[in-house]
Structure 1
Amino acid sequence: MSALHLTVVSDAICPWCWIGKRRLDQALAILADHQPDLAFEVSFFPFMLNPDMPAEGVDRASYRAAKFGSVERSRELDARVAAAGAECGLEFRHDLMTRTPNTTNAHRLARFAAEQDRQRAVIEATFRAYFNEGRDIGDAAVLAEIGAASGMDHDATLARLRSGEAVDEVRAQAASASRAGITGVPSFVLNRHFLFSGAQPVETIADALVAAARHPAIAAAG
């Protein structure tokens, strides 16, 4: 069987997207051992939870207090995320996150990385930079460093990020995901067939991938 294309619709500031990616990685490792005839090509498609976010981002604490009604409620949600992340080996450092960024540039970096077959590494590094290190992933210089650490040329990447290249394309893709009915991320699409949304348990992801991959219509759609 040829590789099936698995698209993960995701946003760089969605904590459940990092958790979902880690659980997906674990599910794919299980399938590699127990379903060796199945192969998946994974790519990431942009989604923007905050499409109207200012380009420079905003103060995270005040933004989330306004969004969720109070600082206390925001902290409760952060604690829930941190606990879920710890279960799959991720450490969330909410104490280091001072800004909520606009993610257009992060999605552009992921797009450029895909051209060099480095997208999954860059996506992981971007999540880690924000959620574990508290870095501003809306900043082109920060993103160029992330790309360089994943094998991309630093200066070329920085120049592309500082240009207007792919800004409209990334925003259009994110808008198209919303128009297609995707309201929550991460969402998973196999050979253009929507599977599910949310950071599902590892076993649920693995079972869903096997069932979908062995469905004749989905397999043929590749």
Structure 2
Amino acid sequence: MSAPVKITVTSDFICPWCYIGERRLRRALENLPEGIAVDLDWLPFELNPDMPAEGLDRKAYRSAKFGSWDYSQSLDAKTVEAGRPDGVRFDYDAMTRTPNSFLAHRMALFARQEGKQTAFVEAVLRAYFAEGRDIGRAETLAGIAGEIGLEREAALAFLPGDGLALEVRALEMHARGRGINGVPHFEIGGRVLYGAQPAETIRQAIVEAAALAGAD
């Protein structure tokens, strides 16, 4: 078996296309040829870095951002349609707040240290978009941590402080320094894919990266 294909995904937990991209990546990984391994890492990006820590009422925030609630809903509808073929479920009616995602990014790095980053990322995206949970709250994130096998009490102890905050900021600065201005952003064995590409496109990029690594 060749060395694992390095995959980094730069994303934000409040980005619906990141949710779709995560599901498409998962499908791609489930359909890889035998013998291809991957090393997957999730990197932080905040679409709303100036969002108040407590978040904002979603309807008010989105109406102001996009000019009207009707237009905001039309954008939501497009993501619902885009995600349907991949089995991505959105429940926008349940989403009452647009959260600050910084705590979730800190917790994702904490989960990486425990070997559960991908499970945490998947669970947070699902919690926000399919269940309408407020992922800006420490209690919510600690609950999600417990659901994927991390210690809930350890998460509750970690989140109120500033552990890994500098690491998140440094990774975000590095991403912007590399010209990443939108997410999701995939880097697969050195090849960049922008946006929520189809699962087959992602799969093929991984296969090609594995072939190149094997030829070295």
Question: Aligned-pair distance for 1:134?
Answer: 0.8
1:15-41 deviation line (CA, Å, top 9, x unaligned): 11111011011111111xxx2232111
Residue matched to 2:206: 209
Counterpart check, 1:196 vs 2:193 = yes
Residue matched to 2:51: 53
| Cα distance in 2 for residues equivalent to 1:118 and 1:167 | 19
Asked if the contact 2:188–2:205 (Cα under 8 Å) also holds between the matched residues in 1, the reply is no
Q: Secondary structure at the match of 1:44?
A: strand
| Cα distance in 2 for residues equivalent to 1:130 and 1:188 | 21
Residue matched to 1:13: 14
Question: Aligned-pair distance for 1:189?
Answer: 1.2
Letter in 1 for 2:200: E
Task: Calculate the aligned-residue CA RMSD, in Å.
Answer: 1.6
Residue matched to 1:92: 90
1:48-99 deviation line (CA, Å, top 9, x unaligned): 1111111111111111112112111100110011112222112100001111
The equivalent position to 1:124 in structure 2, one of 115, 122, 125, is 122
| Cα distance in 2 for residues equivalent to 1:54 and 1:215 | 45
Counterpart check, 1:149 vs 2:150 = no
| Cα distance in 1 for residues equivalent to 2:48 and 2:174 | 15
Residue matched to 1:159: 157
Residue matched to 2:63: 65
* Structure 1: 4+ residue segments shifted above 6 A: none
With 60-69 and 15-24 compared, the bigger mean Cα shift is at: 60-69
- Ranges in structure 1 where 5+ consecutive residues have no aligned partner: none
Question: Aligned-pair distance for 1:177?
Answer: 0.7
Letter in 1 for 2:89: E
For residues 161-200 of structure 1, the aligned pairs below 5 Å read: 161-191=159-189, 193-200=190-197
- Over the matched positions of the two proteins, sequence identity in percent amounts to 49
Counterpart check, 1:42 vs 2:43 = no
Question: Aligned-pair distance for 1:214?
Answer: 2.6
| Cα distance in 2 for residues equivalent to 1:159 and 1:64 | 32
Question: Aligned-pair distance for 1:138?
Answer: 0.7
Give the structure-2-normalised TM-score. 0.94
Give the structure-1-normalised TM-score. 0.92
Asked if the contact 1:4–1:219 (Cα under 8 Å) also holds between the matched residues in 2, the reply is no
Q: Secondary structure at the match of 2:10?
A: strand
| Cα distance in 1 for residues equivalent to 2:113 and 2:193 | 27
Q: Secondary structure at the match of 1:72?
A: helix
Question: Aligned-pair distance for 1:168?
Answer: 2.3
Counterpart check, 1:115 vs 2:113 = yes
Count the aligned residue pairs. 215
Residue matched to 2:31: 30
Asked if the contact 1:113–1:122 (Cα under 8 Å) also holds between the matched residues in 2, the reply is yes
1:94-142 deviation line (CA, Å, top 9, x unaligned): 0011111111100111111111111111111101111111111010011
| Cα distance in 2 for residues equivalent to 1:72 and 1:144 | 34
Question: Aligned-pair distance for 1:194?
Answer: 4.2
